[in-house]
Chains A and B, each alone.
Chain A
Amino acid sequence: MRRPQVWLLAPMVAVLALTLVYPMLYAVRLAFTDPLTGDFPSLANYAQLARDELFWRALRNNALLPAASVAVELVLGLALALFLSQRFPGRGALRVLVVVPFALPEIVVLTIMRYIFVPRGYANAALGALGLPALDWLVPGSALAWMTVVVVDAWHVTPVVFLILLAALAGIPEDIREAAQLDGAGPAARLWRITLPLLRPALLAALLLRGVDALRIFATPLVLTGVEGVPVLSSYAYHQWADYGNDAAAAAAAVTLAVISLALSVPLLRVRSET
């Protein structure tokens, strides 16, 4: 690269260093500094996290929640994309309806969802109207609360997967499917042998995009169930910072999340680049 071009990059590099690199390095230093004695390096913060049962729940949820949520999103997104790629009257309106949840601000969606799932909320009112018993949708630590978080998160973000797959479906030449149909392949065979293999790059792109994004899940469990209900690492870090003023423990949790995200992103990126 010629020298003048290098200098043109300098302002951007400086901004990135100041707003991204320095805070990251500072957070790492904070994570490995003993808050009581100031010793560095120290594993005191990690020892504190290891003693905290909520941290282990957050760690476990950070692995399971994104996996469940992305799985639901991929299945739903694919089904919706396949359905709405067909030609039928009202298809445009339906496509808009499917995308609406993603268009709404997250905090609005979650506040509405909270009112739906609180003990005397709309969900239990609907169950009552049907003569069914009320359910404890958001009871802290329960399996139902966990599933509620997965469903709400998936509902909000499925449109992203839907849009990626819909665009990919539009790119599959119609004549390939017609040829398969002429050769006697039924709908299931066409889906399994033609559509899905051709969708593989788009599916991997959706998986990569949502998989990495889902690891930093934060607002959905926090708003629906509080810090303690369905904890994840980001809400745990926020809790340490906001409720305990414990910057060091928050940094330790955040660094843990960053390491997990990196560790999972690299194989996903490798698969994507090979595809």
Chain B
Amino acid sequence: MARAAVGRGDKPRGYPETPVARRLRVLLALLGLALAAACQPREHTLTVAVALLPSELPGYREVVRGFEQESGWRVVVVPQQYADIRRALAAEAAAGSGTLDLVELDIYSLPAAAAHVAVLDEAALAAELPALAPVAVQAGRIDGLRFLPHRLTWQALLYNHAVLGAAPRSWDELLAVARAHRGGIGMKGARYEGLTCDVLPFVWAAGGRADAFDDAAARAAFRFLAELAPTLNPQSATFREASIAEAMARGEIVLHLNWPFAMSLFASQGLAPNPIRAAPLPAGPAGTATVLGGGYLAIPRGAPQASEALRLARYLLSERAQRHLHDRLGWFSARRDVVFGNGSGLLAGFAAMHDTVRARPARADYPRMSRLWQEAFRAVAFERADPDAALAAAARQWATEQARTPE
């Protein structure tokens, strides 16, 4: 059979062409065509990288479909983790070009990512900006408006209602609970941003500022934390969002601060709203406050379709889209006209914190500042350092680093 193929056609062949080889050639040609097609710039297509859970993707696609119908553009949603989006953005910025038209970044990484994204035209956003919470918009201004609040989140107090009966409402009550349930209170004490999100509410509740280590309010907050420290669960030194939630689910702790995802997790395990509930953070001498978190939209500097990406961002911030995201995915909206609908349910404690949300300093050196808060807290909580001395050391280190940083 193989010999029969030899000599067929005009050209002499070195090897016989079998049917398999012929099919292989056709397959390779098709693959080549597919590759060539894939390398072509995609007309009327936007690529959006968003930090979505697999369960959130269908709901998000529904929202985006509305834009596709309105605009005639196709939107490719790439669900990724924030860290991966951040790295992809940095890589595209280094390369000078890329494929991402719109990205979602976590609020913590905005200062570091500012150089990689475009300044947005505020005039083009005149319809959307007034509808958004000013604190949320302000957090996106880093050398101009570069980031738009796609969704917000903040922490509340999660407590075991069956054990505690009621959530502590003040620092004194919190201390009483801690002493009555030694090891029952957990803090996210690992060396990462989550720890700063646990510490800053205490500093703010004492009347302090995120960028002042050594003022009277910060010292008051840290003296309180020093009183709390001996009663903390010993695993606090390594707790993070997920591990502290797991510890609460296992009943190892009865109270901690966490984001709304933890309540969804407890609800899926049949642990919320009973016995685990959410409540506002305990008030300090200057009231109560919680850290603003969430995802922000930005257009990469090298976005292939920047103007259309802005149109999509405006659509995603519209009342219709934000309401859909809130209703379908449970996202907290930055729009003031999208009412927080879970006020009486699982997330009641979060709803009650709505007006006390504060943004972390939007400055490029914030990660270093945050790290010093973490080091000061860990020194006080886990090494029993004097709170005033720990804060003074942080202030000195901050001053040294500031002096070394070029203008």
Contact = CB atoms under 8 A, between A and B. Distances in A.
Contacts of A86: none
A17 B34 CA distance: 31
Interface string B101-117: 00000000100100000
Contacts of A36: 401, 404-406
B63 interface: no
Contact of A54 (B189, B191, B404, B405): B191
B240 interface: yes
A156 interface: no
Given A226-B238, A227-B238, A239-B191, A245 B112 contact: yes
A27 B252 CA distance: 42
Interface string B291-330: 0000000000000000000000000000000000000000
Interface in B167-226: 189-193
Nearest to B83: A242
Interface stretch (A5-13, A136-144, A182-190, A200-208): A136-144
Contacts of B193: 243
Tell me if B's interface is mostly helix, strand, loop or mixed: helix
A229 B239 CA distance: 10
The size bracket of the interface on B is: 20 to 34
Contacts of B190: 226-228, 243
A37 B406 contact: yes
Interface string A206-249: 00000000000000000001111100000000010011110000
Contacts of A118: 246-247, 250, 252
B251 interface: yes
A192 to B, nearest CB: 45
A227 B246 CA distance: 17
Interface in A227-275: 227-229, 239, 242-245
B234 interface: yes
A225 to B, nearest CB: 6
A140 B233 CA distance: 11
A120 B367 CA distance: 35
B358 interface: no
A245 B109 CA distance: 10
A119 interface: yes
Contacts of B371: 244
Nearest to B397: A51
Interface residues of A, number: 21
Interface string B145-170: 00000000000000000000000000
Nearest to A54: B191
Among A37, A120, A228, A229, residue most surrounded by chain B Cβ atoms (within 10 Å): A228
Interface in B367-407: 367, 371, 382, 401, 404-406
Contacts of A140: 234-235, 237-238, 382
Contact of B234 (A139, A239, A242, A245): A139
A119 B239 CA distance: 13
B243 interface: yes
A243 B234 contact: no
Contacts of B367: 244-245
A229 B191 contact: no
Interface string A138-166: 11110000000000000000000000000
Contact of B237 (A37, A228, A239, A242): A228
A226 B188 CA distance: 12
Contacts of A226: 190, 237-238, 240, 243
Nearest to B239: A226
Contacts of A37: 404-406
B111 to A, nearest CB: 11
A91 to B, nearest CB: 41
B368 to A, nearest CB: 9
A119 B252 contact: yes
Interface in B233-277: 234-235, 237-238, 240, 243, 246-247, 250-252
A225 B252 contact: no
A49 B217 CA distance: 30
Contacts of A228: 189-191, 237-238
B251 A120 contact: yes
B238 A120 contact: no
Nearest to B375: A52
A136 B236 CA distance: 13
Interface string B121-148: 0000000000000000000000000000
B235 to A, nearest CB: 7
Contacts of A141: 237
Contacts of A54: 191
A155 B193 CA distance: 34
Contacts of B406: 36-37
Nearest to A34: B404
Contacts of A244: 191-192, 367, 371
B191 A120 contact: no
B251 A227 contact: no
Interface in B22-53: none
Nearest to A225: B238
A269 B190 CA distance: 39
A139 B247 CA distance: 13
A130 to B, nearest CB: 21
Contacts of B240: 226
Q: 8 shortest A-B CB distances, which residue pairs?
A: A226-B238, A243-B192, A140-B237, A120-B250, A139-B234, A228-B238, A140-B238, A229-B238
Given A226-B190, A227-B191, 4 more contacts: A140-B234, A226-B240, A229-B238, A244-B192
18 contacts: A36-B404, A36-B405, A37-B406, A118-B246, A119-B235, A119-B252, A120-B250, A120-B251, A139-B235, A140-B234, A140-B238, A226-B238, A227-B190, A227-B238, A228-B237, A243-B191, A244-B191, A244-B371
